[in-house]
A and B are shown apart, each in its own frame.
Chain A
Amino acid sequence: MAFHVPEEYYYSKDHEWAQVDENIVTVGITEFAQEQLGEIVYVELPEEGQKVTQNQSFGVVESVKAASDLYAPVSGTVIEVNTSLTDDPSVLNDDTMNQGWMIRIEMDSEKELANLMRAPDYKKLIAEK
C-alpha cells in the first residue's frame, strides 16, 4: 500500500505529521497510522489554550480495536482544535493528511523540529514495518 507522505511535512516516530508555517504547527496522524489503527471511531482532543509538550500525549484516537495516544510533535500552546473530528471521526479514515488535521500549536522553539523526520526518513521508517 502506498501512503501519501508530503515532502513539506515533518514526521514523528509515533506517526504524527507536522506542517510548519512560521511558528504555527498543524498536527495530524499519518495515513500509515490510520491504516495500522483501522477504522477510527472516536477522538479526544485538547482544549484551546492548553500547553502541550513534545513527545507527550495531547489526545487519544480509538479504533474499534483499541485506544492509542496522540503525541505532540513540538511543545507549545494549542491555538486551534479541529472540533469537527469529535463529531465525525470518519474524516480521519478518508483524509487524515488534510481535512483530518487535529490541532494547531504555537510552537515554543523551532529547535525542536530537529527531533522530527523529513519525508524520506519517514518513508524509510514505514517501509521497514
Chain B
Amino acid sequence: MAQKTVLCAEHEKSGAKMVEFAGWYMPIQYIGLREEHDNVRKNVGLFDVSHMGEIRFKGPRALESLEWLTTNEVAKLNEGEAHYSLLPNDQGGLVDDIFVYCLKKNQDYLVCVNASNKDKDFKWMREHNKGAEITDESNIWSQIAIQGPKALALCDEVFEMKCSSFARNRIQPAQFQGHQIMIATTGYTGEKGCEVFVENKGAVALWQALMERGQKYSVMPIGLGARDTLRTEMKYSLYGNEIDDVTNPYAAGLGWVIKPQQKDFINRSGILSAKEKGIKQSLVGFKMLDRGIPRSHYLLFSFDNKEIGKVTSGTHSPTLDEPIGIAYISSEFAKEGSEFFVDIRGRKAKAKVCKTPFVSAGS
C-alpha cells in the first residue's frame, strides 16, 4: 500500500492524476505536463515533494560522521548554508545523491535524500556512523518546492520575509502560522525558488496559502511528469537513471562535489584510482539530427556500428520543443559536436553531443 503525503487530498481536489512512485501515492500531472512545465519556466509552480526523506545528524560528532559518509566538504558549510553531495558506497558506486543543510555548524545538519533510497540510506548511515545522533525525520516533515521566476516574490508575501534576497543554497528556519518551517533556496528545476520543509500539521495551510496568494503570479501545482522534464532540461542527475550503485561519480560529471584533497571519505581511494585509470564513459547531453525521441536504455552506436553507450534519460523538451537526451558515451565520443547513432526501436537515428544545460534557466 502506497504512502500518502499530507497534501494528498489537495491534489485530488485539484483533479490530479495520481500514481504510485517510490512507494508513495503522488500526483504525476494536474492539467497537463506541458502547461505545468511552461508555467515553472515562465511564472511559478508548486511541487509536493513530501516523499523525499529527511535525515538529521546531531551532536558533537555530526560533522565527523558526515565528512566520512559524503564526498563534499561539510566543514566548509557555515550555519544556514547547504550543498549538493554524494553518499559513496564501498564498491566504487553511489548509495544516493543528497543535499546537506547546515543548521548549526559542527552540531546539527539536515540531509535530504531520495524517497526511493531513504530506508537504504538511513541503514547505510547508521552502519557507517562515526558517533553522530542520526534520526530519520521523514515522518515529521512535509516538503513543498516553489520554483520559477516569480517563486521568491510569492515567498516574500507568504512568509513575510525577504526570501528574494537569500543567496542560492541557503537554509533559514522560520515560522508559518505558528508551524515550524525551514526555507531552503534549493531546487531541481534550474529556476529561482526554494524548497520549504514544513511540519506535517502545517503543510495543508501552507499549500493553500501559496495557491491562494499565488493567483496573481499565475501559480500552478506541478506533477512529477513536469518535474522530470524540468530536471532533464538542466541535465540534473536522477538516481536510478544517471547514477546508481555502480556509477563512478567522475563519469557522471559530479567531480565538482568530490573533495579527495581536502578530506577522507568512504572508498575515497577506490573512487580516485578509478579516476586515475581513466574514465571510459562520460555523461553527456545530446540532440537528435534524425527524427525520433530518445528514451532511457536505448543504445548508442558509432557510425561503424560499435556499441558506445546508453541513454539514461530522454524526452521531448517542452521548452525547446525538440527531443533531448542524456547518455553515457565512450569518452572519445564525449566532445561537443560529436555524432553517433541512437538505436530507436531498431532504427539507427543520428544524434549529436551538445552543450548542457539544454536550456538557460533563471537560477
Residue ranges of A at the interface with B (Cβ–Cβ < 8 Å): 38-39, 41-42, 44, 60, 62-67, 86
Taking a contact as CB atoms under 8 Å apart, the answer to whether B295 and A42 are in contact is no
When the two chains form their complex, are residues B293 and A65 in contact, meaning their CB atoms are under 8 A apart?
no
Contact indicator B293/A67 (Cβ below 8 Å): yes
**Closest 3 A/B residue pairs (Cβ):** A41-B316, A64-B316, A62-B293
B345 in contact with A38 (CB, 8 Å)? no
Chain B interface SS verdict (over half): mixed
- Cβ of A38 and Cβ of B33 under 8 Å apart? yes
Inter-subunit contact A65/B292 (CB<8 Å):
no
Asked if B229 is at the interface of the complex by the 8 Å CB criterion, the answer is yes
Q: Which of B225, B293, B295 contacts A41 (CB 8 A)?
A: B293
Known contacts A38-B225, A64-B225, then 14 further A-B pairs from the complex at CB < 8 Å, ordered by chain A residue: A38-B29, A38-B32, A39-B33, A41-B293, A41-B316, A62-B293, A63-B33, A64-B33, A64-B37, A64-B229, A64-B315, A64-B318, A65-B225, A86-B291
State the interface size on chain B (CB cutoff 8 A): 16
Nearest CB of A to B171, in Å: 32
Residues of A near B32 (CB, < 8 A) are 38-39
Contact at A65–B345, with CB atoms within 8 Å? no
A38 to B31, CA, bound (A): 10
Assess whether A60 is in contact with B225, with CB atoms less than 8 Å apart: no
In contact, A42 and B316 (Cβ under 8 angstroms): yes
The closest CB in chain A to the CB of B318 belongs to A64
Q: Which residue of B lies closest to A67 (CB)?
A: B295
Is A62 in contact with B345, judged by CB distance below 8 angstroms? no
Interface string of B309-320 (1 = CB under 8 A from A): 000000110100
Q: Chain B residues near A86: list those with CB within 8 A.
A: 291
- Interface assignment of B34: CB less than 8 Å from any CB of chain A: yes
Are A42 and B34 touching (Cβ within 8 A)? Answer: no
State how many angstroms separate the Cβ of B30 from the closest Cβ of chain A. Answer: 12
CB-CB contacts below 8 Å: B211-243 with A = 225, 229
* Chain B, 10-59, CB within 8 A of any chain A CB: 29, 32-34, 37
Interface centre among A66, A67, A86 (most CB of B within 10 A): A67
Decide if B295 touches A64 in the complex (CB within 8 Å): no
CA distance A44 to B29 in the complex (A): 25
Q: Which residues of A contact B29 (CB under 8 A)?
A: 38
CA distance A38 to B225 in the complex (A): 10
A62 near B225 (CB under 8 angstroms)? no
A60 nearest in chain B by CB position: B345
A66 to B323 Cα, complex, angstroms: 12
Q: Which residue of B lies closest to A66 (CB)?
A: B295
- By a CB distance below 8 angstroms, the chain B residues around A63 are 33, 316
Q: Which chain A residues border B37 with CB–CB below 8 Å?
A: 64
Among A44, A60, A64, A67, which residue has its beta carbon within 8 angstroms of that of B34? A64
Give the nearest-CB partner of B295 in chain A.
A67
- Closest CB in chain A relative to B292 CB, distance in Å: 7
Give B226's nearest chain A residue, CB to CB: A64
Q: Which of A38, A39, A42 contacts B293 (CB 8 A)?
A: A42
Note all chain B residues with C-beta closer than 8 A to A39. Answer: 32-34
- Nearest CB to that of A1 among chain B residues? B15
